[in-house]
Structures are given as C-alpha cells and as structure tokens.
Amino acid sequence: MELRRPSSLAELPASPGDGAVLLAGGTEVVPLIRSGLLHAETLLDVRAVVPRGIDGTRIGAATTLAELESSDEVPDAVREAARLAASPQLRNAGTLAGNLLQATRCWYWRLGRPCRLHGGDECFARTGEHREHAIFANGFCASAHPSDLAAALLALDATVETTARMLPVGELYRLPTTADRRVTTLEPGEAIVRIDVPAPERSVYLKAMDRARWSFPLVGVAAARTGGETRVALAGVAPVPWLLAGGDVDGATPLPRNAWKVDVARALVRRALAAVA
C-alpha cells in the first residue's frame, strides 16, 4: 500500500477502480482497511488540500469534530452532534466529511458477512440480531446510518460542495437497491470540499446512547426551524440519514426486536420540536 500526499485537489484521481482511497482523520478508513472491508492500493492523504475551518456559514470538509464542538459560529445542532459523537481522541482526528461518509455499524456488515450491502442477496439482520437496526426503509437492508452530523445537516438543509458539484445534503445519500448497493451518490474520485450550513433561527440535536459517551446513536434527532419551516432528521434509524416527513414517526416499519426504537424516536422528536418551537 502506498501513501501519497497530493498538493492540490486537482490531483485527485478521477477514474474509478484505481484502488485509491482518500484519507483524512483515518478513524474510519484505517479500521475498515484493517478488517478487510475496504481495499486500498493507494491512500491519498488529503488533509493539506481539503479546506479546514469555519468561515461564516461555510465549513471546510476537513474541519475536525473537535473544532465544530468548540465553535460559536455553527448552529447548535451541529455543535451538539459533534460534541455527542465518539470520544475526545476520535473527535480530535475525525473530520466533518469523514463523519458524513462513514459506513454503518451493522455487525453483520462489519464482520464481512455477504449481506446485501456487501453485494450479497440476504440481509442477515432482518432475520437475525437487529435490536439496534433500522426502523425506516429497512425492507432491503436494515443497516442504520451512524452519522450524528449528517442528521443535523439534513435538518438544517445544508448544501454540500464537492470537487464536481453542489448538492443538498439529502442528495448526498441514496438507499441501496438491488442494482446499486451504494449509500452515497459520490462518484469515484469525487470528494467533499465544503458544507454550507444556513443559519437557522433555532436548532437542536438530541441523542439516545447506551452509555453516557462514545456511542453511536441508537436514535439521534435533529430539528431546525428556519422561517416558518421546521425540519426534523434522524440518525441511526435507516440505512441513510432520515428526513422525517410530516414530523412524526408513525410511518416506521420496525422489525420484531427494534420497535422500542420507535418509542425512543417519538419521544426525542417531540422534545426536539419543543426545543426549536
């Protein structure tokens, strides 16, 4: 494996299949490579070329979670989502873009079982141990998306700037299908550069964990009020960050062992809506 440090974003390879993987904080990519879930012939350390820091509403993709957590400029939901993620050591290393692009914590996927997300024809969680899995959009794959920040940015209707285009954060993600198992719409070689986060009137992020710190969201709920509109988005409840249409969780389709997550989500949504009202 080769480690390269490109001197500009233009040097990023545009062609698929050359085995190049972008590396920033390394808190996700390195464990994935170690456990054989991600193959990389070349690691491209992009920390020197991807913008880092907060400039008004624009946040560099290489900004660390620790920097978001201690910023007065970002909306409350972003600050809280960063603060409640991972551990201090991980937040010092992990970046905003890396957090948005992290893979599910589904144990079957992490153990390399040939599940649908890995290209196979079975979702082991649906028939097996799924107490922490998705309660929305879980018919094909019951994995839960783990990013706290993605839910916050989705509620805030943030815009993603990549090396190729601008897109709403909601369009960064896609549900996996039989034809295409990916959960993001990024093309090979495309990298996130910045996120534009419009300032809301009020925003909040609430998170249910199974211990006080260093836990992925069992359920995370972000709410943001801008003008007359309030948007609510959830983490840990669907294979992608989940925008809650209609503001309630009645459309959930829980599995036999995770209906409790609907109750938790309902309570947190109610609290989040009250907090931004």
Partner 1 sequence: MARLIRTEKEVEGRYEEVWLVVEEDALDQWPEGPLDVVGRPAARIDGLERARGEAVYTADVQLNGMLHAAMVRSPHAHARARSVDLAPALALPGVHAAIGPGEIPKLADLCGYQGAPVAAVCADTEAQARAAAAAVVVDWEVLEPLVDPDEAVRRGQLLSEPRVRERGDYERGLEEADVVVSGEFRTQTVLHNSMETHQSVVRWVGDELEVHVSTQYVWGVRDELASGLGLPADRVRVICNYMGGGFGSKNDAGDYTFVAAELARRTGRPVRCALSRREEHLAAGNRNATIQRLTIGARSDGTLTALGGEFVNAVGWGGWVAATDGPMHALYACPNVRSTLYGAKLNTPPMKAFRAPGFVEGTFGLETLLDELAAKLDLDPLELRRRNHADADASDGRPFSSKNLLECYRRAEPHWERRHEVRARSTDTVKRGVGMASQVWYGGGGPPSYAWVRVGSDGRAAVVTAMQDIGTGTRTAMAQIAAEELGIPLDHVTVSLGDTARGPYATLSAGSSTTPSIGPAVRAAAADARRQIEEIAEQRGTPGAPLAEVVSVLEDAQILGKGARGPNPTGMQVLTFGVHVAEVAVDVETGEVRVERVAAIHDVGRVINPLGAASQIEGGVIQGIGHTLSEERLLDPATGAVLTTSLDAYRLPTIADVPEIVSELVDVPDRHLTNLGSKGLGEPPIVPIAAAIANAIRDATGADVRSLPITREELLRALREAAERERRGAPAAV
Residues of this chain that interact with partner 1 (CB under 8 A) are 87, 105, 107-108, 110-111, 124, 127-129, 131, 208, 210-216, 218, 257-258, 260, 263-264, 267-268
Cα distance between residue 20 and residue 115, in whole Å: 24
Q: Which is nearer to partner 1, 9 or 274 (CB)?
A: 274
In this structure, are residues 219 and 261 in contact, taking their beta carbons and an 8 Å threshold?
Answer: yes
Least distance between partner 1 and beta carbon 235 (Å): 15
Q: Which is nearer to partner 1, 4 or 110 (CB)?
A: 110
Residue 248, sorted as left (phi over 0), alpha (psi -120 to 50) or beta, turns out to be beta
Any idea what DSSP says for residue 64? B
Q: Which is nearer to partner 1, 74 or 125 (CB)?
A: 125
Least distance between partner 1 and beta carbon 131 (Å): 6
Q: Which is nearer to partner 1, 128 or 189 (CB)?
A: 128
Cα distance between residue 33 and residue 177, in whole Å: 24
Least distance between partner 1 and beta carbon 197 (Å): 27
Least distance between partner 1 and beta carbon 167 (Å): 30
Least distance between partner 1 and beta carbon 213 (Å): 4
Q: Which is nearer to partner 1, 108 or 173 (CB)?
A: 108
In this structure, are residues 86 and 94 in contact, taking their beta carbons and an 8 Å threshold?
Answer: yes
Least distance between partner 1 and beta carbon 57 (Å): 32
Q: Which is nearer to partner 1, 16 or 112 (CB)?
A: 112
Long-range residue pairs from 219-222, CB within 8 A, at least 24 positions apart, any chain: 219/261, 219/264, 219/265, 219/268, 220/81, 220/84, 220/148, 220/151, 220/268, 221/151, 221/265, 221/268, 221/269, 221/271, 221/272, 222/77, 222/81, 222/151, 222/152, 222/154, 222/155, 222/156, 222/272
